[in-house]
Amino acid sequence: MLVHLRRAIILSLIFFAMCGLAYGYAATGVSQLLFKHQADGSITANGSTLIGQQWNGPSWFQGRPDNYTPLSTGGSNLGPRSQTLEQNVSKQADALKKEGIQPTNGLVTNSGSGLDPDISPTDAYAQVDAVAAARHLSPAQVHQLVASHIHVAELGFLGSDYVNVLELNQALAHLR
């Protein structure tokens, strides 16, 4: 009986060392070697490209009206008949109209995660004139910037086209 117990403990320690430690360190090393930016959380000078950032005013492209608090992720769970949802959407639409932006569905509703960093190309193009006017740039120049930051669907059919708002605003900051 003691022999079986000793073998089980030794085998458990061996598998812990192999699966728990060696594999973890090997996977971390490979990911740091081959995919350093992604393994480090896709961090830029202004935040992570994987988490939506709060951008205010018509001088920056705005993302979805999400929570932007990583500790409270998730959707609001407000149904289509919710008065709160209707008030939130109306309030966001009015704020966008005051900035000269024609509201779109993506700009007035929250994402499912509450931290979506991306908007649709339609949402980005809806903001072009307001951003161009606020930054004293030509609308054609800003339109071209949006066009150059559209990520197409994976393999051409998985998902839909999107624009990462952080990457777009970083490029916008470098426009003269």
For 147-174, give the DSSP string: HHTEEPPBTTTBS--EEEHHHHHHHHHT
Least confident piece of the model among 11-20, 73-82, 130-139, 156-165: 73-82
Residue 163's beta-bridge partner residues? Answer: 119, 150
Dihedral, CA atoms, 108, 112, 118, 119, nearest 10 degrees?
Answer: -30
Q: Residue 102's Cα: distance from chain center in Å? A: 22
**Position with higher pLDDT, 110 vs 48:** 110
Average pLDDT over residues 6-25: 94
Length of the chain: 176
Domain residue spans of the chain: 2-39, 44-173
